[in-house]
Amino acid sequence: MDPVITHGSAASDLLEKIRTRSAVVSVIGLGYVGLPLAMLFAERGFHVLGFDTDAKKMAQLNSGQSYIGHISSDRVQAALAIGRLSSTSHPERLAEADAIIICVPTPLTAHREPDMSYIEGTARTLAEILRRGQLVSLESTTYPGTTSELLLPTLEATGLRCGHDFFLAYSPEREDPGNPNFSTATIPKVVGGVTPACLELADALYSAVVPNTVRVSSTEAAEAVKQLENIFRAVNVGLVNELKILFQRMGIQIWEVIEAASTKPFGFMKFTPGPGLGGHCVPVDPFYLTWKARQYDVPMRFIELAGEINTSMPTYVVSRVAEALNDHSKCLRGARILLLGIAYKPDVDDLRESPSLRLIELLRERGAVVSYNDPHIPKLHRTRRYDFDLASQELTAEMLAAADCVLIVTDHAAYDWTFIVRHAALIVDTRNATRNVAEGRDKIVHA
């Protein structure tokens, strides 16, 4: 028996359930993070109770249908067939779970401050059903201190003691939708617990489904790990985005510079510019940490600057579209702009924080007529900030020729760039997607 867990305790009983895979695992929030995690636990032999407030999605899952592109319906149906997966929108059923994993959104407010309403609401829900012997693990990306400052007091207000009656941990999600090299099942899990017993149990739970876990000393340290990972990327993308603007003014091709610099076998890591950051974590995390840093009177000027640069990139792209149209004796107002790619990254159906949505908004504000094509997103659904009534248009030669400007936002593998360049009158390429197309180079403007 592990030294921090005594025989006959609530922790000992839960540890035995985890080791024998008789523990019921509940995942709260079955989106791009929660659903892959739920599937992994089901496929590793646990009974999984998925929970989401979207009753329609829960009905879909219970009927064997996936609503996320890289999670096949076949996988869902297989888990249902062996009785390992069930889904609900009734929070009282969370009392059935032995381990509860929280994967709810952590967006920004309109003033770019942390919106903790989803975590706070989840904490209140759990307080109503919390019982002795349950483990709660938060995976949502957030600032250091969230687990101990928001979840812990709410759960201990029930009269149950953390580390004795129930157990609380933080393990940052590291999901990368569409990545062919890494998946939920192969990515190491960082784990931090409020108490040593909390850490032991959380580590045992994740060790049952992933090959490697990385223990850290506290939930705050685990939360900081996620911040570092994503801010590292945000800062470096901000750097190349700023250099792109400068080099464009100087007549230097940023993509040529990056490729040449990438030949250095040490001291350089390749990052590429784009129309803005997308996905839930990277565009959001810097603002979570800078907000928290203000409580300690520590200005995070470097991180804030990177966030401002990345946030401003859609405005820069629109200015490049306007310049390109002007060079063809056309103005942006009334111009027909065809966006290629709406997802925030190639070959996924994920719209979270996609810069394409901000681009549509800015282009429409300036009077452009906007349409789009995306093989992975047939229709735009409502997001927390945007509600565009647009559907993907068939990418035909006629559609390309009819556009005053084709704006490449996401470089999906399905696109035939030679075909696109051949039939488009003008292209603004934010991803260097057309780099290997020999013909029609005079039509292409980089942004």
Catalytic residue among 103, 281, 331, 405: 281
Tell me the Cα Rg of the chain.
24
- Cα angle 87-74-414, degrees, rounded to a multiple of 5: 115
Cβ atoms 365, 388 nearer than 8 A: no
Are the C-beta atoms of 423 and 397 separated by less than 8 Å?
A: yes
Checking if the pLDDT of 333 tops 70, the result is yes
> Is residue 1 pLDDT above 60, yes or no?
no
CA nearest to 332, candidates 359, 356, 312: 359
pTM of the model: 0.90
Q: Do domains 10-218 and 253-446 have the same CATH topology?
A: yes
Alpha-carbon gap, residue 93 to 87, rounded angstroms: 10
The CATH number of domain 10-218 is 2.70.70.10: no
134-149 mean pLDDT:
97
For 251-257, which contacts have Cβ atoms below 8 Å and span 24 or more sequence positions? 253/446, 254/446, 255/432, 255/435, 255/446
- pLDDT-derived band at 312, boundaries 50, 70, 90: very high
Residues near 297 by beta carbon (within 8 Å), at least 6 away in sequence: none
Domain 253-446 has CATH 3.40.50.720: yes
Ranked by mean pLDDT, the top range of 108-122, 160-174, 301-315 is: 160-174
pLDDT at residue number 398:
98
Which residues, 6+ apart, have CB-to-CB distance to 58 below 8 Å?
30, 50, 51, 52, 87, 88, 89
Q: Which two tokens stand for residue 232?
A: 């590292």
- Give 341 or 350, the one with higher predicted confidence: 341
- Taking residues 280-298, report their average pLDDT: 87
Paired residues of 137 in beta bridges:
101, 169
Question: Do 272 and 97 contact (CB within 8 A), yes or no?
Answer: no
pLDDT tops 90 at residue 354: yes
Task: Report the SS3 class of residue 407.
Answer: strand
Average pLDDT over residues 284-300: 90
CB count, 10 Å around CB of 81?
A: 10
Residue 76 has pLDDT above 50, yes or no: yes
Q: What is the pLDDT of residues 167-214, one digit of tens each?
A: 999 999 998 877 888 888 999 999 999 999 999 999 999 999 999 999
The mean predicted confidence, pLDDT, of the chain is: 95
Average pLDDT over residues 107-134: 94
**198 contact partners, CB below 8 Å, separation of at least 6:** 135, 162, 163, 167, 168, 169
| Tokens matching residue 422 | 């051949």
For residues 386 and 406, the answer to whether their CB atoms sit within 8 Å is no
User: Residue ranges per domain, the chain?
Assistant: 10-218, 253-446
H-only helix segments in 136-193: 146, 152-156
Mind listing the pLDDT tens digit for each residue in 224-282? 999 999 999 999 999 999 999 999 999 999 999 999 999 999 999 999 999 988 776 77
Whether 281 sits among the annotated catalytic residues: the reply is: yes
Give the whole-angstrom CA distance, residue 90 versus residue 309: 42
pLDDT at 179: 81
> What pLDDT, on a 0 to 100 scale, did the predictor assign at position 418?
97
- Give the confidence band of 3 by pLDDT, cuts at 50, 70, 90: low
Structure tokens at 200: 């032991």
